[in-house]
Structure 1
Amino acid sequence: MRCTVRSARTLWLAVVAVTFLMLQTAGAETIARCGKGWLEEINGYPVLHLKGTPYEIGYQHGALLRESARQNLEHIVNGEGSRQLIEFGPIKVTPRDAILSILTIQRPHVPQKYFDELAGLAAGSGMELQDVQIGNFIPELFHCSGFALMNSATQDGTLYHGRVLDYATDWGLQNHAVIMVCEPEGGIPFVNVTYAGFIGSVTGMNAEHVSIGEMGGGGLGHWQGVPMAFLVREGLERGKTLDDVLTIFRENPRTCEYFYVVADAKTNEAVGMEASWDVMEVIRPGEAHPLLPSPVKDCALLSAGSRYEELVRRVEAGHGRFTAETAMKLMERPVAMKSNLHNVLFEPKTTRFWVANAGSDGSPAAEQAYHAFQLSELLKRKPDADAEVVPFRAAVKPGTPVSRATSRAPVTIGD
C-alpha cells in the first residue's frame, strides 16, 4: 500500500487526536450525580455537566457544587460586597446596595429563564435567593485582552481564539474555577469557563464551533439592558453562526462599555466588536480602528495601551507559523496583567480548548499550566453508574420558603 504525504499527515493527525483525548480523560473520576447533571474531575480539574430546564440546570449546579458555590458567592456578596463604596454624611452605600438597585433596573431586560436558573441554584445550594441574584449581577469590570488568528496567520489556516481575563485574583475566584458543560433544553450545548455559583459567561464556546470572549471598559451607570454575562450566554445558547451572535447583541439593549472577540470556525472568520449601551461596532480582521491602530492581516486583536502594542508585536513576529502551542504564548505576560485570572485558547473547529487559572496565591494564570479539554468529547461522556446521588428537588410553588437544608454536595473546589 502506497503511503502518500497526505495520507501520512492524516494518520499523524488522527494519532494526535486520539492521544489528546486519552491524555485528557486518563485521570477522570465521577464525584456525584444529581438529576440529569453530574460532576467529575479530569486530572484534578472540576467539570460540571448540566442538562435540562433552566431550574434543573441551576439546581444541579447548586447541589453538586454546594460548598464551593456558597463559599464563593458569600465571600463576594457579604465580604467584598459589604465593603464601603460611598460615604455621604452618615449614609454608607456598599456594592451590595448598588447591585440591588442595578438588579431592579435590569430585571425587565433579563429573560425569565435566568431567574428560574438562579432560583434553582439557590435551592440546590441552600443559599438565600437574593444573595445568589446579587452575586450574579455584580458588574464585570474586567480589563482584558483577546485575539483571533486565522487563515494566513496560522501554520495550516486553523482558527485560534485566545482569551485573557484580567480581574481580581485577590478575590479567590480561581479557587472555585470549574468547567461547565451545559445542555440547555431547546438550546445549543456549550462550555462555560467560569466559577462555582455563576451562571453567566464571559468565556465560552458552543457545539456549533462558535466562541466568545469579553473585555470590559467604562461606561458605568448605563444599566438599562441585558447584563453582559447573560448576553454572552444568549450568544452561546442561540448562536449557530457568527452573524447569529452579532444579531443577538445588536437586537438586545446593552449595558456599560464592553468589547468582544467572536469566532466561527465553520467559516473560519472572527471579528472584534464593541457592544456598549450606545454603540454596536464590528471590526473585521485586518481593519484599523482609532483604539486599534495597528491591524494585522487575518487577525482580530483587542487589548489596550502597551499590552496591545506587545500583542501586535508578537503576532507580527509569528505571523504564518502559529500553532495551538505558540498561540498560547501570545497570552504570556505582559499581554496578561498581574491580575490575570484565567487564560483560554479555543480551537473552535475541533472544539478543543486549553485553560489556565491563576494560582491560589494570586500568581497570574499566564504562569500556570494549561489543562486540555474537548467539548465534543465532554458531551459524549457519561457518569459512573455507582457514583453518589445527590437528590433533586423539584421547584416549589412561588412564595414557598426555600429550606437551607436542601441537598448536600460532596465536594469543595480549591481551598
Structure 2
Amino acid sequence: MAKGRTLRRIRNSLIGIVVVLGLATAWFAWAVRLEDPLDKGETATVPVRTHGADGRWHVGRNWLGRDSAGLYEAYIEGGDLERGLAYGALARELIAEQERIFTDRLRQMIPNVRLGMLKYFTAWYDRDLDEHVPREYLREIYGVSRSMSDAYDGIGPKYMRSLNYHAAHDIGHALQDLAVVGCTSFAAKGGRTDDGHLLVGRNFDFWMGDDFSREKLVTFIRPTEGIPHVLVGWGGFMGAVSGMNLEGLTVTINAARSALPFGARAPISIVTRDILQHAATIDEAVAIAKKHEVFVSESILVASARDGRAVIIEKAPDGMGVFDPGGDLVTCANHYQSERFANSAANQANIRESDSMARFRRMDQLVDSAGTIDPVKAAAILRDRYGMNGAPIGLGNPMAINQMIAHHGVIMRPADRRIWVSAWPYQMGAFVCYDLRDVFARCAMDSISGPIHDPSRTIAADPYLSTAAFAEQQWWQEQRTRIALAGMTGKTIAFTPAEEARFLAAAPDSYITRIALGDLHRMRGGMAEAADHYRAALALPLPSLQERTRLEERLRECDQTTTAP
C-alpha cells in the first residue's frame, strides 16, 4: 500500500511538472509571438521572378542584378508590403547566404547549449520590438521574410528572425560593447572641398567575417509615400547604416558606448531609414529622430544639400543631443560631442579608455593635410592604415581609420546626388559611383539596360591589393580569426612552428599578432611562451586603455602560473 501511494505521488508530481512546463512554454510562446502586420483579409503571396536578357532578375518593374565590380544592385518600388515581397523574391539567395553566414558565425562562437539559451533570451528580449518599429517597415520586413530559407526555422519563425536581425547591431553593441571596433566618418564643405559643397565620407566597420562583407547590396527604393532613397547594406537588411535620398540628405551611423538596455526599442537603422524616407532637411531629421526611443547610444551624421551643412544627432536610451560645430568640418568617431552628453561620466570614460579619440584626431589630421578634398582624396583618407603623422601602428589596429575589416566605405556628394560605394574587399576595392537622379529617372521610365553606375567616375581600387603583402595579410586575417574562435570555444587547433613564424612575419608590428600567438600558447599550456608574446605586445602601439588592461591581466595570469610552486 505504502509503495503504491509513493508511486502515485511520484506520478502525480511528474504530471504536475509536465503541466506546469507545458503552461510555461505556452505562455512564453504567447508572450513572444509576433502578429503578422497584415490588414484584415490581406494576403502576402510571394511574386514569381523572371530572369531577363539584361542578366537581372525581375518582378514587375523591380529588379536585382550584379555590376562588373561585384556589387549587387536592386531597385524596388510601391507600397510597403509590395516592396518587401518583391525584394524577398529577387534577393532570396542573398538573404539565405547572409543568414547562413550570420548563424554559422554564432555557432562558431557560442556552444550549442548556450546558443539555444541565446535564442530564447533574444526572443524574450525583443518580444515588444514590433511596438517600436513603424508599421510601414514592419510590413516591408514581413514581405521580405516570406522568402527566407526554411533551413533556419528552428531558430524562430521567419518574420521574427527577420525583424530581430534588424536589431542585431544594437543588441550586439549593448552586450559586447562593439563600439570598440569603431566606425569613423566626416563631412566637409567650403574651403575644405574642391567645389565648396558638402562631401561626406565614412567607413562602416561592422564585421561578421569576410564572407559577410563580400556581397554588398546597393538598394534603390521608390516608396509610394516618402522620398526615393538608396541604402548600402546586405541581403535582407532594410535598415539604413549608410544612405542618401533624392533630396540630397545623407545619413551614416556610428556606435557610442552604451549601457545595457532593459528591453526592446527602435533599432537605430530603422530610425535612420525613417529619416532617409521622410526628411529633406536637418530640422526634419532631428524631429524624426526625437520621436523614436532607441536600444543603444549612437551618433547619426546627417548632411543636407538643402541646408548646406551637416550635424551629428546623438541618440541614447536616456535622451538626445545635436552637435553642430558651425565650421567647415564635422568629424564623427565613437564618442559624443554635444552639450547634452559630452561631459557625462560614461562619455568621458569612453574617451579615456577606447580608441575613438585616436581615430577622431587622425581623421582631422588627414582632412587638414589633404587640402581641398574631392572624392579621390576622400577615398585615400578612408583607406589610411596608419597612426598620427603616418606612424606605423600595425595591421588591424583600431586606432587606424582603415582597420581592414569594413563592410563598406561610402563617399557622398549631396548637392550632386552622387554616392560612391566600395567594392570588395573592405574599402580597398574600387569605389563605384551612382547618380541618384539618373538612376531613379531611368527606373521611372523602366528603361534599365547596361550599367546603372557612372563608369567615368569610378575611383580605382587601392594598388595595395595587387601586392604580395596584401595576399599574405589576408592569410594572416584568416589565422587570426581561427585562433580567436578556438579561444572562444575551447577547441585546440593545429598551428605548426612554420605557420607561427609566417604569422609573425605577416604583421610583425601589430599587437594583434602577438596577442594571438600568446593566446595560442596559453591554450596549449605554454604559459612562459605566452607571457613572452604578451610582453612583446605591450611594447607595440596599443589602441586603448581597455586593451592594455586586458593584456596586462593575461600576462599576470601567465606569470602567476609559471611562478606557482
Category of TM-score, reference length = shorter chain? 0.7 to 0.9
C-alpha distance 271-95 of structure 1, shift in aligned 2 (>3 A): farther
Kindly indicate which of the two structures has a greater share of residues assigned to helix.
Answer: 2
Task: Give the aligned partner of residue 223 of structure 2.
Answer: 184
Partners of 1:91 and 1:156 lie apart in 2 by 54
1:83·1:94 contact (CA, 8 Å) conserved in 2?
no
SS at 1:172's partner residue?
A: helix
Task: Give the aligned partner of residue 457 of structure 2.
Answer: none
Task: Give the aligned partner of residue 12 of structure 1.
Answer: none
TM-superposed deviation, 1:195: 0.5
Kindly indicate which of the two structures has a greater share of residues assigned to strand.
Answer: 1
Task: Give the aligned partner of residue 362 of structure 1.
Answer: none
SS at 1:118's partner residue?
A: helix
TM-superposed deviation, 1:103: 2.2
Instruction: Determine whether 1:349 maps to 2:415.
Output: yes
Alignment match of 1:117 (pick from 140, 152, 164): 140
C-alpha distance 173-197 of structure 1, shift in aligned 2 (>3 A): same
Partners of 2:136 and 2:77 lie apart in 1 by 14
Deviations 1:372-415 (A, max 9, x none): 1111111122456999xxxxxxxxxxxxxxxxxxxxxxxxxxxx
Alignment match of 2:427 (pick from 334, 355, 366): 366
C-alpha distance 30-97 of structure 1, shift in aligned 2 (>3 A): same
Partners of 1:357 and 1:167 lie apart in 2 by 16
Largest Rg, 1 or 2: 2
1:16-415, aligned counterparts within 5 Å?
29-43=54-68, 44-76=70-102, 78-82=103-107, 95-125=118-148, 127=150, 128-140=158-170, 141=173, 143-170=182-209, 172-222=211-261, 223-286=263-326, 297-303=327-333, 304-319=356-371, 321-332=372-383, 333=385, 334-359=400-425, 365-382=426-443
C-alpha distance 379-98 of structure 1, shift in aligned 2 (>3 A): farther
2:227·2:277 contact (CA, 8 Å) conserved in 1?
yes
Partners of 1:73 and 1:51 lie apart in 2 by 24
Unaligned stretches of 5+ residues in structure 2 = 1-52, 151-157, 174-178, 334-355, 386-399, 451-565
SS at 2:274's partner residue?
A: helix
Higher relative contact order (CA 8 A, sep 6+): 1
Partners of 1:268 and 1:163 lie apart in 2 by 18
Partners of 2:80 and 2:118 lie apart in 1 by 27
C-alpha distance 265-182 of structure 1, shift in aligned 2 (>3 A): same
Partners of 1:157 and 1:311 lie apart in 2 by 19
C-alpha distance 123-93 of structure 1, shift in aligned 2 (>3 A): closer
SS at 2:225's partner residue?
A: coil
TM-score (norm 2): 0.56
Return the letter of the residue paired with 2:190. N
Return the letter of the residue paired with 2:79. T
Return the letter of the residue paired with 1:120. G
Partners of 2:279 and 2:135 lie apart in 1 by 19
Return the letter of the residue paired with 2:72. P
TM-score (norm 1): 0.76
Identity of aligned residues (%): 22
